[in-house]
């Protein structure tokens, strides 16, 4: 890595984040899962595999339409386990709190964490609290780590090892909602229709798809970097082409309008309750039916497919009949969105 300083974009989930992970963290720690960065580390534990993951939450503002920092901290870690094909089981939580923070707000956040944990069927079993001087951190930061178990047969899901041309790419609903909800709240922008964050635990919905015998070939939650970044990572990682149709991607009018006015691209915006799932084409319709049974999957749609054409490239058929190649986001990112 070049000599330099940390920029906000190093934490944005795009190209600079990748450079930091590879240039500093993998360089010194090694990569447990190989060159392919997965949502959870998969550790051999006798007959089963253990999935292990961790994430820190620094969202600003800490309360936003559809959730708060505590809800994010539980759902984000639960979802990283669930998209690895694991059943999430136990979480830890670490709090870094600024001196002067309201105890009432802390309790509200903690109560939300308890509620979401119950919903997701996980237990918070370990934790830590640190308080720093006023002005040395912004209100409250939370780290959660989580473990879950999965069948060794499902190890391939994190890596997309079984992907092949023709497979269908699904998403469980509209993109960009979380980013817009947080940004509108941060900047006091009132929208005609308030956009609510999609933050939700996805494990029950994902488990239902797996239990129905649908062969899930790849899953990832489309958090920082959005749908486009997930697709670019899998296309590059597996040297496969991806073709998606802009018109098939669920997008709320209010989100589209917000993005147009402020110059954001919803394809790159963070979601907190969206899973990109790739299944054999013949099982896509059945998978959609199952997703749609869940509140977080009502707008589930097939948005594209894996193709043998243009390996490692993601091509989008645009609404106006053109083609656009999607790259991993390298420019301006939205800091502190999660």
* One character per residue 221-240, x = contact with Mg ion (rule: CB under 5 A): x-------------------
For residue 302, the minimal CB distance to Mg ion (Å) is 21
Interface region with Mg ion, contact rule CB under 5 A, candidates 29-37, 219-227, 257-265, 279-287: 219-227
Radius of gyration of the chain, Cα coordinates, nearest whole angstrom: 19
Please give the helix or strand (H or E) that residue 328 lies within, else none: none
Binding mask 77-96 for Mg ion (x = CB under 5 A): ---x----------------
Contact present, 96 and 181 (Cβ < 8 Å): no
Helix %, strand %, coil % for the chain, to 5?
35, 25, 40
* Residue 142 or 184 with smaller CB distance to Mg ion: 142
How crowded is residue 319: how many other Cβ atoms within 10 Å of its Cβ?
10
Instruction: Give yes or no for residue 198 binding Mg ion (CB under 5 A).
Output: no
Nearer to Mg ion, 167 or 221 (CB): 221
Which residue, 116 or 243, is less far from Mg ion as judged by CB?
A: 116
User: Which of 42, 55, 71 minimizes the C-alpha distance to 148?
Assistant: 42
Binding-site member from 12, 17, 39, 58 for Mg ion (CB under 5 A): 39
Task: Give min distance, CB of 108 to Mg ion, in A.
Answer: 26
DSSP for 122-176? -EEEEEEEEEE-TTSS-SEEEEEEEEEEE-GGGTHHHHTTT--TT-EEEESS-SS
Q: If binding means CB under 5 A, how many residues of this protein chain bind Mg ion? A: 3
Cβ distance to Mg ion smaller for residue 147 or 184: 147
Q: Does 243 bind Mg ion (CB under 5 A)?
A: no
In whole angstroms, the minimum distance from the beta carbon of 44 to Mg ion comes to 22
Contact 234, 241 (CB under 8 A): no
């Amino acid at each position: 890595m070049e000599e330099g300083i940390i920029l906000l974009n190093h934490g944005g989930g795009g190209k600079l984040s990748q450079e930091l992970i590879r240039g500093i963290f993998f360089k010194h720690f090694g990569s447990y899962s190989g060159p392919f960065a997965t949502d959870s580390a998969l550790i051999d534990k006798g007959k089963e595999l253990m999935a292990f993951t961790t994430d820190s939450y620094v969202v600003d503002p800490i309360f936003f339409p559809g959730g708060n920092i505590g809800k994010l901290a539980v759902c984000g870690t639960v979802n990283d386990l669930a998209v690895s094909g694991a059943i999430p089981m136990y979480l830890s939580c670490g709090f870094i709190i600024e001196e002067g923070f309201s105890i009432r707000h802390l309790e509200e956040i903690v109560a939300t964490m308890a509620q979401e944990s119950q919903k997701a069927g996980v237990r918070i079993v370990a934790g830590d609290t640190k308080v720093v001087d006023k002005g040395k951190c912004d209100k409250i930061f939370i780290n959660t780590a989580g473990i879950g178990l999965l069948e060794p047969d499902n190890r391939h899901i994190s890596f997309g090892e079984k992907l092949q041309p023709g497979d269908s790419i699904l998403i469980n609903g509209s993109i960009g909602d979380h980013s817009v909800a947080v940004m509108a709240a941060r900047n006091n922008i009132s929208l005609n229709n308030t956009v609510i964050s999609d933050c939700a635990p996805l494990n029950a919905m994902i488990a239902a798809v797996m239990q129905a015998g649908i062969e899930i070939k790849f899953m990832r939650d489309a958090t920082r970097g959005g749908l486009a970044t997930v697709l670019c990572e899998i296309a590059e990682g597996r040297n496969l082409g991806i073709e998606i149709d802009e018109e098939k991607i669920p997008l709320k009018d209010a989100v589209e309008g917000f993005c147009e006015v402020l110059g954001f691209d919803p394809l790159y915006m963070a979601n907190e309750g969206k899973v990109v799932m790739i299944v054999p084409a013949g099982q896509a319709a059945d998978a959609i039916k199952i997703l749609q049974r869940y509140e977080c999957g009502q707008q589930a749609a097939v948005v594209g497919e894996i193709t043998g054409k243009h390996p490692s490239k993601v091509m989008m058929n645009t609404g106006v009949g053109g083609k656009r190649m999607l790259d991993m986001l390298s420019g301006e990112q939205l800091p502190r969105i999660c």
